């Protein structure tokens, strides 16, 4: 018996949807198999400057400190226990003012003993002199021999020598007692205190540092390659940090050897007094500005600091090729900063076009456009 045949009851619209879905799936599969199109690197706009040469009249800035020309580290001449120290840091003192004192009791007793010995020696000398005078009279009358008179004269001279020795000892012990008081050598300002009451100090150990009133110096350090720009008698510009006051100073001394730690040379310049500008206080910081004297007419290339980039320990810039409008890195040698610019010793030539902004987003061989130029 033949089987019955069943016909699909789906409408034509459903069959069309099925066919469309199959075509879309096939298209997506085909697109997924294809590689994505490479993205084109954006054309970056940069600022450039054409390198030229300018005079080397740039200023050199150094940090300096105002100090007294005469600054003494005061210490006791004798050892002892410090019982008082009236001097305080920053205090202004006058000549002869008491700064510190050690216990004087032992030195007072020793001085009294020396005074007593002096009195005894004086008595012995007076007795010996009186005896010698009497024996001179007896010798003149023929009652004693010359030998006896010589013995009396020798005793008198010995007593005189003992008196002089006791007198010297008494002076020394008196001075030792006076050395227990540390007095200011002159008027000035206490810049440092190195011992406190109750401390046992030795002879020569600094207790107070005193900056005497008088001329002031500006002290600063320079590297070896700047020594040629400093000569004795040269005038330099000084600017205070607190109120930006302008002063002048004259170089009076340049160290003959470098500091062992910093490898720099200390320079001292005498601060010139100006009635219109108050004198900087001791210890204040100032900015020292001077213009180099060596190679004053030399022409050097300057670049803004925004053009520099650091890579692998070297300093470089991006140089623009005007024909291909691409950039390439070029290493340079920088000598010194001049405000917001730097002075280039080597690596560039006049006429080179250097990128001055956006240097950290560029790559070698990248095409760029000049900012502000018509495309």
d(CA 302, CA 337) in angstroms, rounded, equals: 9
pLDDT beyond 60 at 2: no
Q: Please give the helix or strand (H or E) that residue 191 lies within, else none.
A: strand 188-193
Angle at 186 between CA 182 and CA 189, to 5 degrees: 85
State pLDDT tens for residues 77-120: 999 999 999 999 989 999 999 999 999 999 999 999 999 999 99
For residue 37, name the pLDDT band (cuts at 50, 70, 90).
Answer: low
Q: Are the beta carbons of 319 and 349 closer than 8 angstroms?
A: no
Reported as a single tens digit per residue, the pLDDT across 122-152 is 999 999 999 999 999 898 888 888 998 899 9
Rounded mean pLDDT of the chain? 81
Output 372 or 178, whichever has higher pLDDT. 178
Q: Per-residue pLDDT for 168 more than 90?
A: yes
Compute φ and ψ for 107, nearest 5 degrees. -70, -30
Q: Are 73 and 190 in contact (CB under 8 A)?
A: no
Per-residue pLDDT for 220 more than 90?
Answer: yes
Ranges 91-105, 218-232, 299-313, most confident: 91-105
- Residue-level pLDDT at 118: 94
Share of the chain above pLDDT 90, in %: 36
pLDDT of 163 strictly over 60: yes
**In 3D, which of 255, 236, 257, 256 has the Cα closest to residue 247?**
236
Query: Is it the case that residue 167 has pLDDT exceeding 90?
Result: yes
Predicted local confidence at residue 296, as pLDDT: 47
User: What percentage of the chain reaches a pLDDT higher than 70?
Assistant: 82
For 223-227, what is the mean pLDDT? Answer: 82
Which of residues 316 and 204 earns the better pLDDT score? Answer: 204
Confidence check: pLDDT of 226 > 60 = yes
Q: What is the DSSP string of 42-65?
A: P-EEE-EEE--EEE----EEEEEE
Mean pLDDT check: name the lowest of 109-123, 188-202, 231-245, 316-330. Answer: 316-330
What CA–CA distance (Å, rounded) separates 196 from 83?
9
Average pLDDT on 183-197 reads 92
The band of 374, judged by pLDDT with boundaries at 50, 70 and 90, is very low
Residue with tokens 């500091």: 259
Please give the pLDDT value at position 116. 94
What is the rounded CA–CA span in Å between residue 232 and residue 252?
5
Task: Using only the alpha carbons of the chain, give its radius of gyration.
Answer: 47
pLDDT at residue 318 in the model: 80
Q: Is 198 left (phi over 0), alpha (psi -120 to 50) or beta?
A: left
Per-residue pLDDT averaged across 328-344, rounded?
Answer: 72
pLDDT tens sequence across 247-290: 889 999 999 898 888 888 999 999 988 777 788 888 889 999 87
């Amino acid at each position: 018996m033949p089987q019955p045949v069943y016909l699909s009851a789906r409408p034509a619209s459903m069959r069309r949807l099925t066919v469309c879905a199959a075509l879309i799936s096939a298209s997506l599969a085909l697109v997924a198999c294809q590689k994505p199109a490479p993205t084109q690197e954006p054309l970056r706009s940069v600022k450039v400057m054409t390198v030229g040469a300018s005079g080397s009249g740039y200023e050199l800035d150094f940090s300096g400190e105002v100090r007294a020309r005469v600054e003494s580290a005061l210490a006791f001449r004798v050892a002892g226990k410090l019982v008082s120290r009236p001097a305080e840091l920053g205090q202004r003192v006058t000549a002869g003012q008491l700064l510190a004192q050690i216990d004087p009791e032992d030195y007072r007793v020793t001085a009294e003993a020396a005074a007593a010995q002096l009195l005894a020696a004086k008595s012995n000398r007076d007795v010996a002199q009186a005896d010698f005078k009497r024996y001179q009279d007896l010798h003149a009358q023929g009652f004693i021999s010359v030998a006896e008179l010589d013995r009396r004269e020798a005793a008198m001279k010995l007593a005189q020598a003992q008196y002089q020795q006791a007198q010297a000892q008494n002076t020394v012990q008196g001075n030792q007692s006076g050395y227990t008081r540390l007095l200011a050598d002159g008027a000035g300002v206490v810049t440092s205190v190195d011992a406190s009451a109750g401390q046992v100090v030795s002879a020569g150990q600094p207790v107070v540092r005193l900056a005497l009133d008088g001329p002031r110096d500006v002290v600063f350090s320079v590297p070896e390659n700047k020594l040629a720009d400093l000569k004795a008698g040269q005038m330099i510009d000084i600017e205070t940090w607190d109120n930006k006051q302008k002063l002048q100073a004259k170089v009076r001394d340049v160290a003959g050897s470098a500091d062992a730690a910093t490898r720099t040379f200390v320079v001292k310049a005498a601060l010139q007094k100006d009635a219109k500008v108050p004198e900087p206080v001791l210890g204040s910081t100032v900015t020292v500005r001077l213009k180099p004297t060596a190679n004053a007419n030399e022409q050097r290339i300057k670049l803004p600091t925004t053009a520099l980039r650091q890579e692998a320990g070297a300093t470089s810039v991006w140089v623009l090729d005007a024909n291909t409008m691409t950039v390439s890195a070029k290493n340079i040698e920088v000598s010194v900063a001049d405000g917001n610019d730097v002075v280039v010793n080597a690596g560039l030539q006049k006429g080179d076009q250097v990128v001055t902004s956006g240097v950290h987003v560029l790559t070698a061989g990248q095409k760029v456009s000049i900012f502000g130029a018509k495309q």
